[in-house]
């Protein structure tokens, strides 16, 4: 089947991947690539579960040809209209002119906006609780608004116990020929990328993810089939537990994400001194230079650990520009329940702590600590750092 893989006797993975992509959504680095998953159910009726990005379209067509083996395609289910899954849709519908489009009303409206075509005549509109029988397989649709767009559906297959989960339970990273999470060392090789994917792409919509997790708890789920990354058929609790934590903004571990900006190295030096004091107190620390590391990695760390330290020089009487951009990104993700400490540097009027505090005003769930460190150009005295290290060690 070339790159297609059997997920069960009659469900095939027919998606593809892109290792040449620099930035996913033109924002997120994907140094290990990304997969665009699609699944074909072969029953009395044949049904394609979602399409792929344009970069994977040819692979999808090849896999469909081989897996269908001359049969036609009866249904194309579109769970999510974001173009990383729908770009190939019109070409699929043109190749299989008898296929019906099965999707939500909102997604059908998006089809006309993206492609300038009214497919109402060809569509079967489904929503929460709707069913579609393929023969042995009976599909039940579960509304999953804002996971990660408003039109999103998930789909439960009664026969196999597979829940097709759209973007949820996905990860960055190409699959290296595997299709199941248990074929790789997921915890070691992919969990960091799964966290970075979730927190940055869906992280803002924790309440909506919680609501879908509650609905999923009522289903007898044997497999999770996402649109990126691996199919989960074993150890589902591993990823479900992470999703519970991420979507409820619960830290996975006690520890500090220490994000700093530094123009000439003096703020970095003070940040390193704080990290050493924290280590001496048994506190785990992850340090990031906001001018070096893409914010998506730092945001993932902020979700992982229980406290955040932001250290920045005063710049144009405000906050060092890359830290300002990072804080705006962080507050856009709705993270809650974290202690946040501030460190500022300034040669004539240190003002970046006040600026950072103002930038964080909208982030109601972040608790800004009283202890603030001021570095007067360079670190000359560690009394404030020791006080902050003690307070953080007590807080985490």
Contact 182, 190 (CB under 8 A): no
For ligand FEO, give the closer residue by CB, 28 or 75.
Answer: 28
The Cα 116–Cα 118 span in angstroms is 7
When asked if residue 196 is in the footprint of ligand FEO (CB under 6 A), the reply is: no
**Site size for ligand FEO, by CB under 6 A?**
9
Residue of 17, 74, 84, 324 that binds ligand FEO (CB under 6 A): 84
Where would I find the H helices in the chain?
57-68, 83-86, 89-95, 105-115, 186-189, 191-197, 206-217, 236-247, 266-280, 295-304, 321-332, 352-359, 383-395
Q: Smallest distance from the beta carbon of 379 to ligand FEO, in angstroms? A: 44
The Cα 24–Cα 207 span in angstroms is 24
The length of the chain is 396
Q: Smallest distance from the beta carbon of 202 to ligand FEO, in angstroms? A: 8
Residue of 17, 18, 50, 82 that binds ligand FEO (CB under 6 A): 82
Binding to ligand FEO (CB under 6 A): which residues in 52-81?
80
Q: Smallest distance from the beta carbon of 149 to ligand FEO, in angstroms? A: 6
The Cα 396–Cα 393 span in angstroms is 6
The DSSP line for 79-107 is S--SHHHHTTHHHHHHHSTTPEEEE-HHH
Binding to ligand FEO (CB under 6 A): which residues in 127-156?
148-149
Q: Smallest distance from the beta carbon of 53 to ligand FEO, in angstroms? A: 8
Taking alpha carbons only, the member of 159, 224, 229 closest to residue 196 is 229
For ligand FEO, give the closer residue by CB, 80 or 137.
Answer: 80
When asked if residue 85 is in the footprint of ligand FEO (CB under 6 A), the reply is: yes
Q: Smallest distance from the beta carbon of 83 to ligand FEO, in angstroms? A: 8
Q: Write the binding mask 221 to 260 for ligand FEO: x where contact by CB under 6 A, - elsewhere.
A: ------xx--------------------------------
Residue 318: count other Cβ atoms within 10 Å of its Cβ. 17
Q: Smallest distance from the beta carbon of 167 to ligand FEO, in angstroms? A: 4
For ligand FEO, give the closer residue by CB, 53 or 324.
Answer: 53
332: its two tokens: 């856009």
The Cα 242–Cα 167 span in angstroms is 15
End-to-end Cα distance, the chain: 51
Residue of 167, 193, 268, 324 that binds ligand FEO (CB under 6 A): 167
Tell me which residues touch ligand FEO (CB under 6 A): 80, 82, 84-85, 148-149, 167, 227-228
């Amino acid at each position: 089947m070339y790159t297609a893989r059997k997920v069960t006797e009659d469900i095939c993975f027919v998606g593809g991947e892109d290792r040449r992509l620099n930035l996913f959504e033109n924002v997120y680095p994907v140094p290990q690539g990304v997969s665009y998953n699609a699944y074909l159910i072969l029953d009395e009726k044949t049904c394609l579960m979602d399409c792929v990005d344009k970069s994977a379209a040819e692979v999808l067509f090849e896999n469909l040809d081989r897996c269908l083996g001359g049969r036609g395609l009866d249904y194309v289910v579109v769970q999510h209209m974001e173009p990383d899954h729908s770009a190939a849709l019109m070409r699929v519908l043109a190749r299989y002119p008898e296929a019906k489009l099965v999707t939500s009303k909102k997604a059908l409206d998006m089809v006309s906006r993206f492609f300038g075509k009214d497919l109402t005549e060809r569509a079967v509109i489904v929503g929460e609780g709707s069913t579609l029988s393929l023969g042995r397989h009976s599909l039940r649709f579960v509304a999953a608004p804002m996971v990660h767009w408003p039109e999103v559906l998930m789909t439960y297959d009664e026969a196999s116990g597979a829940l097709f989960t759209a973007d949820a339970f996905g990860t960055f990273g190409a699959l290296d020929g595997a299709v199941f999470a248990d074929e790789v060392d997921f915890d070691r090789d992919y969990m960091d990328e799964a966290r970075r994917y979730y927190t940055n792409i869906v992280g803002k919509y924790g309440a909506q993810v919680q609501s879908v997790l509650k609905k999923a708890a009522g289903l007898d789920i044997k497999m999770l089939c996402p649109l990126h990354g691996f199919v989960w058929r074993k150890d589902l609790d591993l990823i479900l537990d992470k999703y519970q934590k991420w979507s409820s903004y619960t830290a996975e571990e006690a520890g500090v994400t220490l994000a700093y900006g530094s123009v000439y190295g003096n703020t970095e030096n003070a940040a390193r001194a704080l990290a050493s004091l924290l280590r001496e107190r048994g506190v785990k620390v992850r340090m990031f230079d906001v001018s070096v590391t893409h914010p998506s990695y730092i945001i993932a760390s902020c979700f992982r650990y229980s406290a955040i330290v932001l250290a920045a020089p005063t710049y144009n009487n405000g906050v060092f520009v890359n830290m300002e951009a990072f804080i705006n990104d962080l507050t856009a993700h709705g993270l809650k329940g974290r202690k946040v400490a501030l460190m500022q540097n300034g040669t004539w009027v240190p003002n970046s702590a006040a600026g950072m505090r103002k930038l964080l005003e909208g982030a109601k769930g972040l608790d800004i600590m009283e202890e603030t460190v001021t570095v007067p150009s360079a670190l000359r005295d560690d009394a404030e750092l020791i006080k902050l290290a003690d307070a953080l060690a007590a807080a985490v």
